[in-house]
Amino acid sequence: MERTVVKIDNLVKRYGELTALDHFSLEIKEGEILGLLGPNGSGKTTTINCLLSLLSFDKGRIEIFGKEMTPTSYDIKKEIGIIMQNVAVFDELTVYENIDYFCGLYINDKAKRKEYVEEAVKFVGLEDFLKFHPKKLSGGLLRRLNIACGIAHKPKLIILDEPTVAVDPQSRNKILEGIQELNKNGATVIYTSHYMEEVEQICTRIAIMDKGKKIAEGTKDELKRMTRNTETIIIEILDLPKAIQDKISGLPHVYKADYDDDKLTVYCSGGKHNLLRVLDLLQKEELSFGRVYSELPTLNDVFLEITGKALRDKEE
Amino acid sequence: MFLHELKYELLVCLRVKEILIWMIIFPVCLGAFFKMALYNVYEKDIGFSTIEVAVVENSPNTALHTVLDNIEKQDDAFLKATYTDKEEAEKLLQNKEVSGIIFSDAELTLTVDGKGMRSTMLSDFVKTYNDRQRIITEAVKNDPVSAQAVIDELSKDISTCTEIPLNDGNPNYYVQYFYNLIAMVAIFGSLTGLHITINNQANLSALGARKNCSPTPKSISTLASLIGSIIIQGGCMVICVTYIKYVLKVDFGSHLPLVYISAFIGGILGVSLGFFVGSIGRIRTDMKTSILISVSLLSCFLSGLMVGNMKVTVQKNLPWFNKINPAAVISDSFHCLDYYKGYDMFITKIVTMLVISAIFMLLGFIMIRRKKYADL
């Protein structure tokens, strides 16, 4: 049976009148990449800060590796690697010195530390920037340095709090691949983000948060099964008669058909070959159409269905 | 872990540009400015201690002779009289061979060529002499029996007044500017102290948060930072004193090692002040920096580093404040070396600095001891 690495039980955290965490519970098993997904202000970072014993909380209990987590749980802290949302490195130190400094807070043995630091440098691909100061690095390289500082001591539990914010796509992919590799090497990972694509790409299990509460939890397939919608078909079409639209709405597994702005959107729930059936009907009615595409449900659809609002703000 | 923290604290401090600017470049520039602007004035005005004066007597004045002879007999006598006639005296004054002419009649009168420290001292001497001559004349007239006692007492007082140098330091007015400069650099050490709390408090910086997540106890991390900052600040103080002494060639008298000690301990006081202010509550970092700069400048201002008479004013109204004001205590420790015989007062000031530093550090540690934060 898989060991429970993190157990958060009934956590409540209030900032005055605002309840940031509202009886939040979560269990993370060894070897998982757990994605903590939620819009900005949903309580992800507060959860992480409570987990790390940086923040006090009003109610609840946190256990890591089977022991209660407190600010003086140094034996537990030794096994945790943290990559903060804000880059936390010394501007005055070089890339190598920064990694060595943070690794040295965990590893006393100099020879072992040197080996670990070199491995971390290779892992994030900063070999050519060892003598650079952080201010000379691009945003993506800086994020990689931030990650190297957090994982150099080879922790068993790695917590990444939105590590790809303001990172270019190339660096983002490199970071995500790196996280998967760390997981393959045995680390349990907690990954917070409001980018659902990232969470879908790397996480083995996902917990969705909103307003300090866990609103859904499971694998991405389990979560998607929570929605009525299983497929959305979009067809560009000119002048669709209302009668045809109604016929489409009546097809098997179609629960809704909208026509707006020369676009027909067909929402399906279950079933197979839904697209073929819709196209067949349009051909029979001798209607010409343009581009056709089909979308599978996303985590945003899950969030939308549960909360009635989009996961990500429009400007994001 | 401690040595690892200490090593990197030293490395970081050495590379912080603000420290380089305020602890080294600033005193170097300001010291050079003081040297150029003030030291030449000193050399010209009171660089040598004896003031040459011509004395013109309408009739022989034995009392004046006695007083001047007594003054001239002393080591480091501040006056040297040349007895001559009026014409010769005026020639001497014109040729700047004397700083003034004392005319002896019923009272003394003085002619000087221009203003300056020497003219002021001669004027003070003539005024004091005339005042005392009047008192003695009155005493002889009114109470001849006790007149001799009055004469003895006033003569003794005149002799004491001339013994200005009380120790082996350099009590000249211009050296004080350099002492004040050293004190100011020590107080600027508070910026180094502030940086300790910022980098170690989870609620003040991301770096602090990351360090708080590590298995290195906060007490060890903070202590290493504090010691590292004190070492760097101490180094800056040594550079500052060495530069003033050996590059600007300012004479600190025979107490140079004590000046170094005092400057180093002043640096500790500065760092601990910054550490204390940095530890107070959850105020934004830029706000704390502003508070610290204001506190430092106010401390320097009230200790007379900017306005000469301020310390006297504070002493009159709030005498206890001068005893705890960091900048006043640091500058006083230097002054003690020049103005007090023996080292009792100097030791008192050093102990005061150490006690204030210990209190600041203790309060700082108490305030940052908190392990969890209500808000980040």
Residue B369 tokens, joined: 């001891």
**Do B122 and B20 fall into the same domain?**
no
Q: Name the minimum distance, in Å, from the CA of A302 to any CA of chain B.
A: 31
**Do B36 and B110 fall into the same domain?**
no
Classified as helix, coil or strand, B373 is strand
**Measured between alpha carbons, how far is B57 from B84 in angstroms, rounded to an integer?**
8
- What pLDDT sits at residue B164? 42
Measured between CB atoms, does B216 come within 8 Å of chain A?
yes
Residues B129 and B41: beta-carbon distance below 8 Å:
no
- What pLDDT sits at residue A183? 94
Backbone phi, psi, residue A125, to 5°: 70, 40
DSSP assignment string, B243-262: IIIIIS----TT-HHHHHHH
Which of B162, B183, B203 is where one domain is finished? B162
- What pLDDT sits at residue A181? 92
Cβ distance A101 to B4 less than 8 Å, yes or no, reads yes
Interface test with B, best of A14, A96, A105 (most B CBs within 10 A): A105
Residue B38 tokens, joined: 């003030």
Q: Which residues contact B155 (CB under 8 A, 6 or more apart)?
A: B67, B70
**Do B91 and B212 fall into the same domain?**
no
Backbone phi, psi, residue A7, to 5°: -130, 115
> Which residue among B12, B207, B371 sits closest to A71, beta carbon to beta carbon?
B371
**Measured between alpha carbons, how far is B274 from B19 in angstroms, rounded to an integer?**
13
Which B residues 182-211 touch A at CB under 8 Å? 202, 205-207, 209-211
Measured between CB atoms, does B219 come within 8 Å of chain A?
no
CATH number at residue B76: 3.40.190
Domain A4-219 is in which class?
alpha beta
Quote the Cα angle for B301-B277-B212, to 5°: 155
Which B residues 38-77 touch A at CB under 8 Å? none
Q: Which helix (H) or strand (E) segment is A201 a member of?
A: helix A196-202
User: Structurally, what CATH architecture does the domain formed by A231-296 represent?
Assistant: 2-Layer Sandwich (3.30)
**Do B6 and B154 fall into the same domain?**
no
Cβ distance B215 to A74 less than 8 Å, yes or no, reads yes
Which of B110, B127, B162 is where one domain is finished? B162
Total number of domains in chain B = 2
- Which is higher by pLDDT, A103 or B23? A103
A113 half-sphere exposure, CB direction, 13 A CA radius: 18
**Do B202 and B60 fall into the same domain?**
no
pLDDT exceeds 80 at position B165 = no
Task: Find, among A187, A185, A186, A222, the residue nearest to A205 by Cα.
Answer: A222
B374 within some domain = no
> Which residues in chain A come in under a pLDDT of 70?
1, 311-316
Cβ distance B211 to A105 less than 8 Å, yes or no, reads yes
Beta-bridge partners for A68: A63
**Measured between alpha carbons, how far is B74 from A162 in angstroms, rounded to an integer?**
81
Measured between CB atoms, does B371 come within 8 Å of chain A?
yes
pLDDT exceeds 80 at position B309 = no
DSSP assignment string, B25-81: IHHHHHHHHHIIIIIHHHHHHHSSSPEEEEEEESS--HHHHHHHHHHHHSTT-SEEE
How high is the mean pLDDT of chain B?
A: 83
Q: Is the pTM of this model over 0.80?
A: no
Largest CA distance in chain B: 92
Q: Where are the domains of chain A?
A: 4-219, 231-296
**Measured between alpha carbons, how far is B293 from A251 in angstroms, rounded to an integer?**
76
Chain B residues whose beta carbon lies within 8 Å of the beta carbon of residue A55? 372-376
- What pLDDT sits at residue A280? 94
**Do B145 and B35 fall into the same domain?**
no
**Measured between alpha carbons, how far is B190 from B212 in angstroms, rounded to an integer?**
23
Confidence of residue B134 (pLDDT cuts 50, 70, 90): confident
Cβ distance B209 to A74 less than 8 Å, yes or no, reads no
Alpha helices in chain B (DSSP H): 2-15, 17-19, 26-34, 40-46, 62-73, 86-94, 117-142, 144-162, 175-200, 206-212, 218-242, 256-279, 285-302, 310-317, 319-324, 326-339, 344-368
pLDDT tens digits for range B203-228: 888 999 999 999 999 999 999 999 99
CA-based nearest residue in chain A for residue B376: A55
Amino acid symbol at A301: D
B135 within some domain = yes
Residue B91 tokens, joined: 């020639």
Query: Residues in chain B, how many?
Result: 376
- What pLDDT sits at residue B209? 92
- Which is higher by pLDDT, A157 or B166? A157
- What pLDDT sits at residue B159? 41
pLDDT exceeds 80 at position B322 = yes
**Do B102 and B158 fall into the same domain?**
yes
B375 within some domain = no
- How is the beta sheet containing B51-57 ordered, strand by strand? B79-83, B51-57, B100-104, B108-112
- What pLDDT sits at residue A242? 93
**Do B106 and B205 fall into the same domain?**
no
Q: Name the minimum distance, in Å, from the CA of A17 to any CA of chain B.
A: 14
Quote the Cα angle for B92-B96-B102, to 5°: 55
Measured between CB atoms, does B3 come within 8 Å of chain A?
no
**Do B320 and B184 fall into the same domain?**
yes
pLDDT tens digits for range B70-86: 888 776 677 888 888 88
CA-based nearest residue in chain B for residue A106: B215
pLDDT exceeds 60 at position B4 = yes
Q: Which helix (H) or strand (E) segment is A119 a member of?
A: helix A110-124
Which of B162, B183, B211 is where one domain is finished? B162
Residue B222 tokens, joined: 């903070």
- Residue A38: CB atoms within 10 A of its CB come to 25
Q: Which residues contact B67 (CB under 8 A, 6 or more apart)?
A: B129, B155, B158
Confidence of residue B160 (pLDDT cuts 50, 70, 90): very low
Backbone phi, psi, residue A115, to 5°: -60, -45
Confidence of residue B156 (pLDDT cuts 50, 70, 90): low
- What pLDDT sits at residue B162? 42
**Do B14 and B100 fall into the same domain?**
no
What is the mean predicted confidence (pLDDT) over B139-148?
Answer: 75
**Do B259 and B288 fall into the same domain?**
yes
Q: What Cα–Cα distance (Å) separates residue B245 from each residue in A252, B240, B263?
A: 96, 9, 13
Confidence of residue B358 (pLDDT cuts 50, 70, 90): very high
pLDDT exceeds 50 at position B321 = yes
Backbone phi, psi, residue A5, to 5°: -90, -45
Q: Rg of chain B over CA atoms, in angstroms?
A: 27
> Which residue among B207, B210, B217 sits closest to A82, beta carbon to beta carbon?
B210
Q: What Cα–Cα distance (Å) separates residue A141 from each residue in A147, A167, B98, B152?
A: 10, 9, 76, 86
**Complex ipTM:** 0.85
- Which is higher by pLDDT, A117 or B286? A117
What is the mean predicted confidence (pLDDT) over B5-26?
Answer: 89
Q: Which domain holds residue B316?
A: 2-42+172-368
**Do B87 and B113 fall into the same domain?**
yes
